[in-house]
Amino acid sequence: MNTNKINKFNSLVFSLVFLRLAFLFSSTKHETTYLKKDSDHYLELADSIKFYFFNDSLRDYWLSTYRPMGYPIILNLLDTITSVPNFIYINFLGDIGTAVFVYKIVEGITDNTLTKYMSVILFFLNPNVLLSSSQIMTESLSLFFLTGSIYFVINKKILLAGLFIAIFSLFKPMGHVLLILIIIVCFFWLRYNKKELLLLSVIPILCLSLISINNQIQYESFFYSTSPYYHLQWLNGASEALCEELNFDQMEVIEPGYIFEGWKENLDPIIIQNSGLFIEKLKEDSRNRTWKNIECKGASSIHSLVWNSFGVRKAHWNETHLTKSVLNVLIYYSYFYVLLCMASLFFALFNYKEKKLRSIIYFVVTYLLASSVTLPYGNSRTRLLIEPLLVIVLSFYIENYYPALKRKIFR
């Protein structure tokens, strides 16, 4: 590719970065855009890290067992230098870092300059990522560490990959899931040997163990996060409701906290007041019905897979400060974008044989299946963590069809 074209691509990338920054600036003026229900949780925890995460006599303990400490620590540090609305600018830095990793991953697979630039352009045009960057949420930083871990894994920078998985586990209560999925990809498609897999696992397992030990001291129960038990309990309750009536609009299915609150009301107050007893009871309840209503769990998984794969965050977009006409364009664009991504993923499954790209494809598919099995209703926000990887697959899809498309247009 000649210098003139490269300069044009550079100009386009810088323009998209500037537009992203402008969107964040406008978002800081509107609480409905940057503050969500989860944001309030993180801000509350950020008020005092020591009080919430290292306090053996904490009474209101649920949030700190469910939300990892990584993001509240970041917010706590930001609070010393700026005001709450400006916290979202850390997302901008996370997005820039993720874009760099996306470029580097593609660069390691192909010499095609168009594909390398296309991957970065598509990332900044991703509506799911754009929306999350305007919110006080974990997503943008989680994206950075997950995408970074994939980059280091496929380039066999094993200790750095392990470090990024460990840090990811401090932001999302699914570090154990990421480690397992990456080990599967490394073993079957990247041909890691046992020694390499062990080396990859050391830092994440150490991190997860230290969190669990701290929880044992603080809550008298050994666990990494209550989130998996909470979601498994929701899945069990939702599948039970679906077996009684195959209706996905039931509160048991669509509202994550509905099952939990109902279960909690029937507990002895003594158990609720004792964190150790409460969490052990939650573990027990979530495990007791794991293998019941399997056929309804199957129906739930199919519904969830469709939503996780093809859904858009219409409700979240409608809560932003944008005008109705702009919102309509963004929502239709979101549908077009996700359909293009899923079409490219389906095409890639049967066509691309390059080892590094193949490992990314199978990670995406495995992640989608795993998240769909464990979440009853499905949520397009779940897909956000693999959006950079979908962008990579899409950029190769465009590379494959661009020459033929160009010939048709300009013949």
- Over the chain (411 residues), the average pLDDT of each successive run of 10 is 82 96 96 92 94 89 94 97 97 97 96 93 96 96 98 97 98 96 94 96 97 95 95 93 91 90 92 94 91 91 93 91 94 96 92 86 95 86 94 90 54 49
Q: C-alpha 15: how far from its chain's center?
A: 26
What residue has token string 């994939």?
150
Q: Given this model, what pLDDT does residue 409 score?
A: 45
Distance CA 198, CA 183 (A): 9
Residue 353 pLDDT: 77
Q: Which residues contact 200 (CB under 8 A, 6 or more apart)?
A: 153, 158, 161, 162, 165, 182, 183, 186, 192
Decide: 140 and 74 in contact? Cβ < 8 Å: no
Q: Which of 248, 230, 227, 228 is nearest to 239 (CA)?
A: 248
What pLDDT sits at residue 14?
96
Which of 153, 206, 141 lies closest to 385, judged by CA? Answer: 141
DSSP 411: -
Among the listed residues 265, 297, 281, 274, the one whose alpha carbon sits nearest the alpha carbon of residue 229: 281
Residue 102: predicted pLDDT: 98
Q: Please tell me the predicted confidence (pLDDT) of residue 1.
A: 64
Instruction: Measure the CA–CA gap between 319 and 327, rounded to whole angstroms.
Output: 10
Which tokens hold the place of 162?
């392990």
Question: C-alpha dihedral over 217, 219, 220, 221, to 10 degrees?
Answer: -110
Return the amino acid letter for 255. E
For position 410, what pLDDT does the model report?
43
Alpha-carbon distance 230 to 232, whole Å? Answer: 6
What integer pLDDT is reported at residue 354 of this predicted model?
Answer: 79
Cα separation of 278 and 264, whole Å?
Answer: 9
Max CA pair span of the chain? 78
Per-residue pLDDT at 374: 86
> Residue 402 has what pLDDT?
61
Is residue 308 a contact partner of residue 383, using CB atoms and an 8 Å limit? yes
Q: Cα–Cα distance between 365 and 342 in angstroms, integer?
A: 10
| DSSP letter string, 344-373 | HHHHHHHH---HHHHHHHHHHHHHHHHHHH
The answer to whether residues 158 and 150 touch, using CB atoms and an 8 Å cutoff, is no
Is residue 294 within 8 Å of 304, Cβ to Cβ?
Answer: no
